[in-house]
Amino acid sequence: MSAHRCAVVTGSADGLGLGVTRRLLADGWCVVAADISDAVGELFPAGSHDGRVRAVVADIAAPDTADALVRTAMASYGRIDAVVNNAGVGGPSGDLDAVEMADVERTLEVNLLGPVRLCRAVIPFFKAQGSGRIANVGSLFADAPVVGGSAYIMSKAALRSLTHCLALELGPSGVTVNTVAPGYMMTKMHEEEVAAQASTAGVDPDEQLRRLRARVPLGRHGDGGDVAGAVAWLLSDDAGYVTGQTIGVNGGVQVS
């Protein structure tokens, strides 16, 4: 059995998940790094980080992926201590009655049912050992809906509610469950959104980025490192009495 704690992180090949994976490896964790892109294998090749990382190409929306990721963690490191449900898609843009139902379903499969399945797969292990951490990556927009984003927003709002319910269910077993809710983050998904917004507004993408940054009290976009810091703390012993919470990582766009 590995002496290092082990985490499963989804969406590890880019953006926030890449930042989280790199941070946990730097902190000494073993990580099963999962992503639908085969780039995850190039970023984390076999044997790298003293063998403390296993790259898995997988679609978190597939029904058998969650069990396979937990089996990989147990087979590779003999333990599993945390899950970071980060993989997500932006979903279709438009009024609900105007977008394709298949795109709505895909958004819910990735952003909500994927995390549900992974939580279900790991809970028996957490209960058996009397400890565990679940960190769900939500969104500022679960509390700040915008026109045309219903599929994405409802998926993230439901994920936050999952956090609340599981925190109550799993608290007696010594398991904590929390949400990290990013704001404006410089990811490929956000860049695509900015390009679409700029086209609608009749401005270039740089101008649209400037307008968004003007809404942020800290004056900048966030990145994977900002989210990774919050996740790393939630998975640490220092956050052992924190559960059922949503931690905003948004530069002050939304305060509580």
User: Taking the CA atoms of the chain, what radius of gyration do you get in angstroms?
Assistant: 18
Residue pair 52/30 in contact (Cβ under 8 Å)? The answer is: yes
How many whole angstroms separate alpha carbon 171 and alpha carbon 242?
10
Q: Is residue 219 exposed (0-12), middle (13-18) or buried (19+ Cβ within 10 Å)? A: exposed
How many whole angstroms separate alpha carbon 52 and alpha carbon 70?
15
Q: Which of 77, 152, 184, 241 is catalytic?
A: 152
Let me know if 152 is a catalytic residue: yes
Cβ density class 183-218: b for 16+ within 10 Å, e for less: bbbbbebbeebbeebbeeeeeeeeebbeebeeebee
Please list the active-site residues. 152
